[in-house]
C-alpha cells in the first residue's frame, strides 16, 4: 500500500528541524576559519554574489546598513574584502572579495562538504539514493 504524503505543515516542520541540525553540524568546522558566523555569512554573499553594494548585502543578510558596515569593516581589516567606487553611482561603493577572502570561503566550503560526505557515507546506498532524490526535488523547488 502506498504511503500517504505528509501534510505540508508537518513536512515543513520536520524539514526545518533537520535543516537546523544539519547547519549546526557543519558549522562546527567553520570555527577553525577564525571568523564569526555573521562575518562568514556576509563574506559568503560577497564571494558568491559580488561585487555587491553595502545596502544589497545588508538586505541579503537581513540586517541594517550600519550593522553591515561594521561587519564589512572587520572583513576589510582582515584583508578579506575590498571596497571600490561603483561606476554607476559615485556615492556608492561595491564590495568584492579579495583572493584571500575567496580562498577562505573555498576552504570553508571544502570542510563543510567533507563533513557532509562523511556523514552521508554512513548511509546505505539505498538511503543515499533517497537523499539524492529529495535533494533533486528541493533543487527544483528552491533552485
- Where exactly are the structural domains of the chain? 10-142
Q: 66 versus 90: which is more confidently predicted?
A: 66
Residue for grid cell 501534510: 7
Matching residue, cell 564569526: 36
Reported confidence tier of residue 2, pLDDT bands at 50, 70, 90: low
Mean of pLDDT over the chain? 92
User: Domain 10-142 falls in which CATH fold?
Assistant: Arc Repressor Mutant, subunit A (1.10.10)
pLDDT band at 1 (very low <50, low <70, confident <90, very high): low
**pLDDT exceeds 90 at position 91:** no
Whole-model pTM: value is 0.81
On the 0-12 / 13-18 / 19+ scale of CB atoms within 10 A, 124 is exposed
Mean pLDDT over 54-61 rounds to 95
pLDDT at 99 over 90: yes
Amino acid at each position: 500500500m502506498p504511503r500517504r504524503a505528509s501534510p505540508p505543515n508537518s513536512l515543513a516542520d520536520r524539514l526545518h528541524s533537520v535543516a537546523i541540525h544539519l547547519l549546526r553540524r557543519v558549522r562546527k568546522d567553520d570555527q577553525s576559519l577564525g571568523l564569526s558566523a555573521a562575518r562568514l555569512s556576509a563574506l559568503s554573499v560577497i564571494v558568491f554574489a559580488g561585487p555587491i553594494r553595502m545596502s544589497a548585502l545588508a538586505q541579503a543578510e537581513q540586517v541594517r546598513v550600519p550593522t553591515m558596515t561594521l561587519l564589512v569593516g572587520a572583513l576589510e581589516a582582515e584583508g578579506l574584502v575590498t571596497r571600490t567606487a561603483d561606476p554607476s553611482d559615485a556615492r556608492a561603493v561595491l564590495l568584492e572579495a579579495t583572493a584571500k577572502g575567496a580562498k577562505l570561503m573555498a576552504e570553508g566550503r571544502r570542510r563543510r562538504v567533507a563533513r557532509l560526505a562523511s556523514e552521508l557515507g554512513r548511509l546505505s546506498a539505498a538511503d543515499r539514493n533517497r537523499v539524492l532524490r529529495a535533494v533533486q526535488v528541493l533543487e527544483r523547488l528552491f533552485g
